[in-house]
Amino acid sequence: MGPLRSGGALGYWPPVMERSRLRPVGLWLLAVAAAVVVQVLLGGVTRLTDSGLSITEWKPILGVIPPTNEAAWSEAFGKYQQIPQFQRLKSHLTLEEFKFIYFWEWFHRLWGRMLGFLFVIPLAVFWKQGRLEGLKGKLLGLLVLGGAQGVMGWVMVASGLQDLVYVSHLRLAAHFMLAAVLLAALVWLGVSMLRGDGQPGRELVKPTGVLVGALAVQLTWGAFMAGLKAALVAPTWPTINGQWLPTAIFGSGEWWWNDPLAVHVVHRTLAYVLVIALAAWWWRTKALLGSSRHVVLGLVIAQTALGALTTVQSVYAGRLLWFGVAHQLVGLSLMIALLVALHELRRHEVVRQPNHQPVPLPVAA
């Protein structure tokens, strides 16, 4: 087995390190990535069930234990009754109904704590085994990023405890995108450990990177949609309340990330742009990626269809929950698939012949 070559910012390791020593590390990182996906989906359920403000305190250690008797439940419910969300929107809520929303927020936080252990314990083991030469800084950076994600979660919740009836949609987007960045880094580094990495500058690498960036913008606007409940302002498709371009967005006086209707228009428009751009990308990557590129195209089409269904079903709370979570899952899957495709394109070393046709060269093992 030949030595691994050094790669880009997230794909570097000493050439002397054998891939067999990196395989357990790669599998571990991908397992953590899968757990992050579950955490993001739990966050989506928490958001769509209005559960996020049910726990009004941040107790990183003692918060693991939920209320265990009626007195403790009454105390937790009493604290929730003091915040604007209950007083303005949820005053009809009973204790039993409060227990339901409390569970989702508690489970979301519990899963986050489990993620910490899933990362830290294997990290310590692999560190002791000497498998992490050249990787320690990056893995510690991921640990810090994960911690920042937890802190941002509380900063987000705190925004809804004083004046707002929901959390700030800007902080919600920051919380979600930190998770997306963490997920992307875990996937990229995990795949690099298993397959090796290539170099930037290969054919179609830059355009694919631009598409990843465009998808990140779209995911951010999706978080704005969730935070502002923007689907409800235009639960119609293909038009937006009977118009292709609502004139109301030009006179709202709000920034396009604060006005629900404008956010809706931007998110829907970006979806169409991404479908067209990724269809063109799918055609251009035929020679380099083969059938694997079909996954990306299939996911972007499914994601757009789910977006339309989520929009028209948003007036039904039960349906919105299922369609919304599915929409979020497919969006994350699309991001992962596009990142894996980008990684594969970096591994393709090509040279140009006089007829300008790319000729793949063997990739070092």
Regarding beta strands 349-352 and 358-361, do their DSSP bridges make them parallel or antiparallel, or are they unpaired?
antiparallel
Domain boundaries, the chain: 1-197, 199-365
The answer to whether the peptide bond before residue 238 is cis (omega within 30 degrees of 0) is yes
CA terminus-to-terminus distance, the chain = 6
Question: Per residue in 111-164, pLDDT tens?
Answer: 999 999 999 999 999 999 988 888 999 999 999 999 999 999 999 999 999 888
Work out the angle at residue 360's Cα, subtended by the Cα atoms of residues 355 and 365, and round it to the nearest 5 degrees: 160
H-state helical runs in 285-316 = 286-289, 293-312
Question: Per residue in 217-243, pLDDT tens?
Answer: 999 999 999 999 999 999 999 999 999
Q: Rounding to the nearest 10 degrees, give the CA dihedral for residues 214, 216, 218, 221.
A: -140
Sign of the dihedral through C-alpha 15, 20, 25, 28: positive
Q: pTM of the predicted model, to two decimals?
A: 0.88
Q: Which residue has the tokens 């739990």?
A: 42
Model pLDDT, residue 215: 97
Question: Per residue in 181-218, pLDDT tens?
Answer: 999 999 999 999 988 776 665 678 899 999 999 999 99
Contact 234, 264 (CB under 8 A): yes
